[in-house]
Structure 1
Amino acid sequence: MSVSLKDVAERAGVSIKTVSNVVNNYRHVTPAMRTRVQQAIDELGYRPNLTARHLRKGRTGIIALAVPELENPYFAELAGAVVDAAAEHEYTVLLDHTGGRREREILVSQGFRARVIDGLILSPIELETEDLLGRDHDAPLVLLGEREYDLPYDHIAIDNVAAARVAVRHLLGLGRSRIAFLGARTDRVNEPSHLRLRGWRAELAECGLPAPDSMVAPTGGWDHADGAAAMARLLDSGELPDAVFAYNDLIAIGAMRVLSERGLRVPQDIAVVGFDDVTGGRYGAVTLTTISPDKQTIARLAVRSVVERLLGTAEGPLTSGPRELRADFRLVARESTLGRR
């Protein structure tokens, strides 16, 4: 049989209200009383009924997280961080993936699960600003990722232009001067690939170096195969860079495979930098230098934003408008640029 608050109260010799105050971590409980109640909780193995607690507040206790694809290690690692962050607020995460398709992102954002979730964290790829202008339900929405939106929703991102400049600066500092960019999507000017391309151009320009279009290799997607194909096309065109900055780690790993097949050494002949710091990049034959976004902070900011908006709804509207929240990043230098030490 499950243990109730009443059982704990009887074991501790206190009122049910006192036990509730301890369980909900209210401040005005003496240390001695808190210890006494906690001992009874431990002895009886009491576990709070989080579902009932949320329902009493008119909520479900569920936050949805929608990402483009779970096969991409970056989104899988981010999802794990969101689950951990939500647990700290006693929330469960409902995970969904959109395949990066606009119609699916619209469906998710318009609240087709509005009755079962309290809020939504969405990482869109194809969604446009106008797709969200008619959103007509109250569940808080938080946008992740580097696409630029002018919308009344909290947005959490890193500075992609600055991060790209750090990656290129690292390569320049190693004496590289013909730095290619793999992973451009020139048809979407406000998405992350364009921002990273902008950072690539800006850093080269500041150093007085050319940034020719012939050194930009577009990709149709963001996987290993896309990176391999882009690298092969670049080499077949006659261009021979001495370094590559890739849109993400998967593209970088695919590119390194082709370089190896063509008899080119990493980093002696061509140095490579990726983006995302996924686990696989740390364990290849040549470990990958990469830009590492602070995924834990991104997750904590996203969950906290949803919770704060929920509290604002319960206790009166928040006075603050939509917030642009930034997470940090760092360059992690490994063998693909430094060689083995």
Structure 2
Amino acid sequence: MKYKDFDTEDFLQDEFFITWVMKPGEETNHFWKKWLEKYPEKRRVVDKASAIIRSIGYEDERVLSDDLYMEMYENIIQKEETEEVKRGKVFTWDFWKNLAAILFLAGCFYLGYEAINTKPPKKAIETEMVKRNNPAGQKSTITLPDGSTVHLNAGSALEFPDRFSDSLRLVKLTGEAFFDVIKDKDRPFVIISGDNRVKVLGTTFNVKQEKDFSVALVTGSVEVADDKGNKVFLKPKEMMVKEANGMIFKKEFDPLEVIGWKDKYLVFKNDSFQEVRRKLEAWYGVEVHNTITLPKDWSYSGVYYKETLGNVMEGISIASSFQYTIENKTVTIQ
């Protein structure tokens, strides 16, 4: 795939791009300057990817810089001398030998410079993006290329490369998922969800992106950041919530309520009718229609483990004194 077709996630997986951001040099600066002049519409994507890379903090790699070439060149120049004799200048054998070395190094430097700036080095390994989508009523467990496990909730999607790079493990989440990440201190694990980023090394936690964004940490530690520069660190049993209006706060959480879904627990805790309907539709892949008027303060609490839709509706209807019907994929409250 050409750079002009890259999005943010593609740039975050590209080693040539990462090297430029973390260790810019004359050659890479020249290439990306020319490339952005040709594709100015990609600047916003490039700037976003660059900001994410700097916030993640890749390990610096030792590379041979252009300064070394210039230092070698200058040392040879300083050694060059001309000998003065009574009847004029005499060019010695040492002079010609040094001049040949200078020309050889200059030629190598020029050819190397041109080769690098003509086109970037080819990627050693081509990667393909893998997409997993769960419709309403369906959950799945996914094993990532590094062995980490993801429990993907209903109505959610996960995107990741078929192999991670040597410096980063990056995935993109829409909806909700529980992650069990294998520890790798040399390769941070980063989840992009909306304009939020969750960075970990090895831990277990839940990420949910709906109207609000939340991260609930079970073990280990995580760093949560967004495009506005906000950054929050979590400890086990802490949960960060970012509301739709941008307000951010931390709190403790009930593991059964927040992550019980991955173990097939359907939990209602003082939920409004809108929240009950949302959970039923996502869990069972149905549509819920209400034909009666419920009290404004109506709420419901209950815990169900591997229960059928009929049994759950029976429990809710008894507690709330209403009738219901189930026909195909439609639940009608009456």
Q: TM-score w.r.t. structure 1 length?
A: 0.28
Q: TM-score w.r.t. structure 2 length?
A: 0.28
| More strand by percentage | 2
Could you say which structure has the larger radius of gyration? Answer: 2
